[in-house]
Structure formats: structure tokens, C-alpha cells
């Protein structure tokens, strides 16, 4: 297993776009490597046309930054890179500089499992320009995917109304790493367990599983297959009842369930993986109930997503547990979040922060300049607005006005004295971790608790009400002036 061994145990410093290294070299040649900069990572639109997003991936980022070091193999690889002329791409002194580089940034981030919205920084990286730059690609790689999948899982589990959702995605996930990261993020987003045993081992996620059609097909009869399974796994019997005929399958499951009872064991439930899931789940419930198996679960699977879960609920299907794979772990209807990482400010020779702006014809693509933080306000315990502000201009007493970054006619006055919290928490200071990494179960609980603090209107699957996120007035003015200045250049 050379590939996986190299992937997970070697240095990940080269897991980056080559242009980060060409820029790093050019920064070094220009004497700019140590100039202090601040970058923000944010996305522009909630995925799946939804009304919210769940932040995930920070724990990977922490690992990545703590281990950020070019090892000898990395340096040799770079030393051997040749330009078009056949000359080495990078001077030796630069390679040595990379070898000596020690991660020394300040990082502030939104904790995993937090509900987040477009345009607010999920991560703020402050430090030497070259280090901030080199972190762009890996940070985006990690956070884009895990945040996307955690959000998908949250949508699905909301649709399931608190019932168990089992993540079954490994076989159709985007490769090995995609599968592992997806299982982790799906758990954070609200799934109860994963079928991916390695994810269970690596992340401490509960693992669960039933059995496949092949198990049934390997016997002469379905009944024999159920009996043999019950013999082998008396405490873990979820019988897959649809291999031949679901009605007969249910009769067989009940027969074996009764035998289990005689042994003092309980059948956990049945699984239905084809056909009309509303019709067959209701049939299963009725048959199980009349046989006295009131506690037995009806598990359903087969190409499910949040919309089908919602529809099956409306149809009053008797499903208690949802097995969901492909559409969850591949984020089927939106395969990328589209978060970006932009320079927001740089320190000038005098040590003053100079806000930076990337202009664009599309207003949505103009970044928010300056050294920012985000404050979330709650009214009677319910989240009511997020304010992006310049960290050195906190003014709590005033009762700020927030202005929509895209449509400045949308404004909201925040009342004085509302409960509030800062969303960006200190993670690293001068390269040292200052954040206690929470357990994955704690993160999952945060997702649930966070979602409960938002109005239903933001959580519905289609046409959600847009949650207000705005720029504090002085930040809005700064941005507007910079845009006007840039356009007049
Ligand atoms: N009551 C229902 N309402 C809406 N969608 C449903 C309902 N029951 C099942 N579905 C969905 O309809 C699709 C049916 O899939 P498909 O056409 O592959 O049939 P199938 O039953 O899986 O067939 P096969 O037995 O060949 O696997 C699946 O995505 C399934 O989740
Ligand atoms: O449908 P998903 O959400 O991806 O969930 C996982 C699916 O994987 C398994 O069968 P598989 O699809 O491999 O075979 P089958 O459809 O022929 O049963 C399982 O029975 C589910 O149907
Ligand atoms: O345990 C299961 O039932 C399972 C696991 C993976 C994929 N489909 C089903
Ligand atoms: Mg299938």
C-alpha cells in the first residue's frame, strides 16, 4: 500500500498548486516573504440553493498547519525541477529557505459545526506573506469539501426530523481520501454512523451495517440466509427483505425474529432497498406491529437524498432509519462549495494595515477588505444577524448598522444590548496552537445546537429565507471608497 502510506504519513507540504511555489519564489526574490499579510477564506453562496452552511474541516487544517514542513524528499523534488531552458526552476538558496521555514502564522477560525453564511470569513490567516500564500490551496481543499458534505448531511438529517441517518457512501465516494473526509463531515453534519470502518477507526465515529443481497443469494432460500445470519450475529439483525419478494421477505424476517426472541434476543429491524419505499415501509410496519415487533426498525435505502426523505415523510412512510450513500458523500447536486481565499490587508513599511481589494465587474466577486471579524447577534436566543466588522473598530455600545455587501440598499439596525458572540476563535498564535481540539461528538452536538438557534425559515430545503449578513458601517464605507478609488485608477 505504498500510495496510501505515502499520502497519509509523508509530508503534505507539496499538496498545493504549483503557482503557490512560483509566487513563493518570486516573493523571496523580491524580498517580500516576511511582509505581514492577512487572508480570509469565505464562500459566496450557500450550497444546494439552501439557506445555511455548516463549517467543517478545521481539525484537518490544524493538523496540516502543525505539520507544515518541507521534508528532505520534498526539497529534493523541488531542487530537481527544471525550467524550459533546462536550468533549475528554483535557486538552491530558496530551497534552503523553504527547508528552514517554520509555520508562524496567527489563525482565527469559525469552529467546526457552526452555522455559517456567505461572505463571512471561515478562516483568517495572518502572518508572513509567503506562508499565508502557501496555505491557500490546502486550506481550500480541506474546507471546501468537508463544509459541503457537512451541509448536505445537515439538510438530510433535518429532513429526517431527527431520525437516524446512516452514511453508506464509501463505495461511491470520490476516492479514498474523499470517502474518509466525507464520512467525517457527514457525522459532523448530523449522520449517526458510517459504514466506513476506517473512518470509524480514524475519527472515532460509530460504525454500523446490515448485510447485502449477496448474503441472501449465497443460500438456497432467503429463510436459511436469515437464520444463518441470526446465528452468527444475534444482536445485529437487520434483515434485508427485498431480494426476491418484499412481502415474503417480511414474513421470513418475522419468523427468524421470533426464533431470536426465544433465545432472548431482539431483531433490530428490516431493510428495504428497492421498490416504492412508502408502500413497502408501511407494509413492513403493519406486519412487524401485528407480530408484536413494535420496537423493530424499518431501514430504507436506495438513492435517497434530502428531497426524497422529505417526500417520503409527506407520504407518511413508516421509515425510522435512513441509509444514504452516493447523493450524500458526492454532494450529488453541487459537487463543490466554491470557497475562495483572498488577501484582505497587508502591512506597509510603517507597520500600518493597508486594506486590499480585488475589483470585479461582478459585485459579488469584490472581496471585503481589511482585518475582519464576525459577530453573531441573538434576539431571545434566536440568531438574528451576522455583522462583519473591522476588528480594530469594535463599537459595541453604538448599536451598529449593517449593510448587505451585495445590495447596499438592504440595511439592518442592530439593537443595543443584544446577546452576541464573536465567530472567529483563536486557533494559532505565532504558529503555536492555542485551541483545544474538541472531540468529534462535541462538534456534531455543536451542529445540532447551532441549527436549533436558527429560525425554521432559513432551514427549509427550497427557497429559504435569507439570513441577514452585513458589513458594519465603517467597513462598508471603507469598501465603497476603495472600489470607487480602484475604478478611477
Ligand atoms: N414512495 C416513493 N416516493 C418517491 N420516491 C421513491 C419512493 N419509493 C422509492 N423512491 C425512489 O425512487 C427511485 C427508484 O429507483 P429505481 O428506479 O432504481 O427502482 P428500484 O426500486 O431501485 O429498482 P431495482 O429493484 O432495480 O433496484 C429511488 O431513488 C428510490 O429512492
Ligand atoms: O443508494 P445509496 O444512497 O448510494 O446507498 C447505498 C446503496 O448501496 C447498496 O447497494 P448498491 O447500490 O451497491 O447495489 P443495489 O443498488 O444494486 O442494491 C445499498 O443497498 C444501497 O442501496
Ligand atoms: O450496511 C449496509 O446496509 C450498507 C452499507 C453500505 C452500502 N449499502 C448498505
Ligand atoms: Mg443502488
pLDDT number for residue 459: 98
Residues of the chain with pLDDT under 50: 1
- Structurally, at CATH architecture level, domain 34-68+103-134+339-487 sits in Alpha-Beta Barrel (3.20)
pLDDT of residue 62: 97
Q: How far apart are CA 304 and CA 71, in angstroms?
A: 44
- For residue 172, give the ligand 2 atom closest to its CA: 4
Instruction: Give helix 18-29 / helix 92-100 axis angle, nearest 10°.
Output: 100
Within the chain, all domains assigned CATH 3.20.20.70 are found at: 150-329
Ligand nearest to the CA of 330: 2
**What CATH architecture applies to the domain 150-329?**
Alpha-Beta Barrel (3.20)
Which residue's C-alpha comes closest to atom 22 of ligand 2?
302
- Summarised one tens digit per residue, pLDDT across range 212-225 is 999 999 999 999 99
Q: Where in the chain is the domain with CATH 3.20.140.10?
A: 34-68+103-134+339-487
Ligand 2 atom 12 nearest Cα: 302
Whether this model's ipTM surpasses 0.85 comes out as: yes
Q: How far apart are CA 134 and CA 197, in angstroms?
A: 33
Q: How far is CA 294 from the centre of its chain?
A: 36
Q: What SS3 state is found at 457?
A: helix
Dig out the grid coordinates for 449 from the structure. Answer: 445546537
pTM for the model stands at: 0.97
Ligand 1 atom with least separation from CA of 276: 8
pLDDT at 1: 45
Sign of CA dihedral 81, 84, 85, 90: negative
Ligand 2 contact via 215 beta carbon (within 6 Å)? no
Residue with cell 511582509: 35
Q: What is the pLDDT of residue 363?
A: 83
How many whole angstroms separate alpha carbon 455 and alpha carbon 465?
Answer: 9
Distance of alpha carbon 446 from its chain centroid, rounded?
13
User: Would you state the pLDDT for residue 431?
Assistant: 98
DSSP state of 389: E
Point out the ligand nearest to the CA of residue 275. Answer: 1
Q: Give the distance (Å) from ligand 1 centre to CA of residue 286.
A: 21
* Phi and psi angles of residue 176, each rounded to the nearest 5 degrees, phi first: -70, -55
Amino acid at each position: 500500500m505504498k500510495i496510501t502510506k505515502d499520502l497519509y504519513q509523508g509530508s503534505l507540504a507539496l499538496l498545493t498548486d504549483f503557482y503557490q511555489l512560483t509566487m513563493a519564489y518570486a516573493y523571496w526574490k523580491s524580498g517580500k516573504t516576511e511582509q505581514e499579510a492577512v487572508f480570509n477564506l469565505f464562500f459566496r453562496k450557500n450550497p444546494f440553493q439552501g439557506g445555511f452552511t455548516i463549517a467543517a474541516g478545521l481539525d484537518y487544517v490544524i493538523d496540516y498547519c502543525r505539520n507544515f514542513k518541507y521534508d528532505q524528499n520534498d526539497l529534493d523534488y523541488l531542487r530537481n525541477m527544471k525550467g524550459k531552458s533546462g536550468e533549475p526552476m528554483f535557486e538552491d538558496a530558496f530551497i534552503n529557505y523553504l527547508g528552514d521555514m517554520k509555520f508562524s502564522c496567527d489563525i482565527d477560525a469559525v469552529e467546526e459545526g457552526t452555522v455559517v453564511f456567505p461572505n463571512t470569513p471561515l478562516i483568517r490567516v495572518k502572518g508572513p506573506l509567503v506562508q499565508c500564500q502557501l496555505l491557500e490551496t490546502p486550506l481550500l481543499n480541506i474546507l471546501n469539501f468537508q463544509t459541503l458534505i457537512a451541509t448536505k448531511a445537515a439538510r438530510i438529517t433535518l429532513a429526517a426530523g431527527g431520525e437516524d441517518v446512516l452514511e453508506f457512501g464509501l463505495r461511491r465516494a470520490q476516492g479514498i481520501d474523499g470517502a474518509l473526509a466525507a464520512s467525517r463531515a457527514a457525522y459532523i453534519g448530523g449522520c449517526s454512523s458510517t459504514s466506513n470502518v476506517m473512518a470509524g477507526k480514524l475519527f472515532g465515529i460509530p460504525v454500523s451495517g446490515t448485510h447485502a443481497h449477496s448474503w441472501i443469494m449465497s443460500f438456497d432460500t432467503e429463510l436459511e440466509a436469515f437464520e444463518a445470519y441470526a446465528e452468527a450475529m444475534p444482536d445485529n439483525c437487520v434483515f434485508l427483505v427485498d431480494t426476491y419478494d418484499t412481502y415474503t421477505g417480511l414474513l421470513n424476517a418475522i419468523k427468524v425474529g421470533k426464533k431470536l426472541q426465544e433465545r432472548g434476543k431482539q431483531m433490530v429491524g428490516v431493510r428495504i432497498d428497492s421498490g416504492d419505499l412508502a408502500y413497502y415501509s408501511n407494509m413492513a410496519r403493519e406486519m412487524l406491529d401485528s407480530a408484536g415487533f413494535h420496537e423493530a426498525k424499518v431501514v430504507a435505502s436506495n438513492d435517497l437524498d434530502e428531497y426524497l426523505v422529505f417526500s417520503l415523510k409527506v407520504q407518511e412512510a413508516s421509515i425510522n432509519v435512513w441509509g444514504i450513500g452516493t447523493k450524500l458523500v458526492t454532494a450529488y447536486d453541487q459537487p463543490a462549495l466554491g470557497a475562495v481565499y483572498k488577501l484582505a490587508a497587508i502591512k506597509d513599511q510603517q507597520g500600518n494595515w493597508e486594506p486590499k481589494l480585488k475589483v470585479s465587474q461582478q459585485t459579488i466577486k469584490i472581496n471585503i477588505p481589511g482585518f475582519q471579524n464576525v459577530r453573531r447577534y441573538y434576539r431571545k436566543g434566536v440568531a438574528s444577524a451576522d455583522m462583519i466588522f473591522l476588528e480594530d473598530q469594535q463599537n459595541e455600545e453604538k448599536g451598529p448598522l449593517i449593510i448587505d455587501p451585495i445590495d447596499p440598499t438592504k440595511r439592518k439596525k442592530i439593537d443595543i444590548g443584544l446577546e452576541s458572540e464573536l465567530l472567529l476563535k483563536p486557533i494559532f498564535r505565532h504558529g503555536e496552537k492555542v485551541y483545544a481540539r474538541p472531540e468529534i461528538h462535541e462538534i456534531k452536538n455543536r451542529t445540532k445546537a447551532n441549527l436549533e438557534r436558527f429560525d425554521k425559515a432559513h432551514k427549509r430545503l427550497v427557497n429559504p429565507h435569507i439570513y441577514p449578513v452585513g458589513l458594519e458601517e465603517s467597513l462598508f464605507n471603507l469598501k465603497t471608497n476603495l472600489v470607487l478609488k480602484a475604478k478611477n485608477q
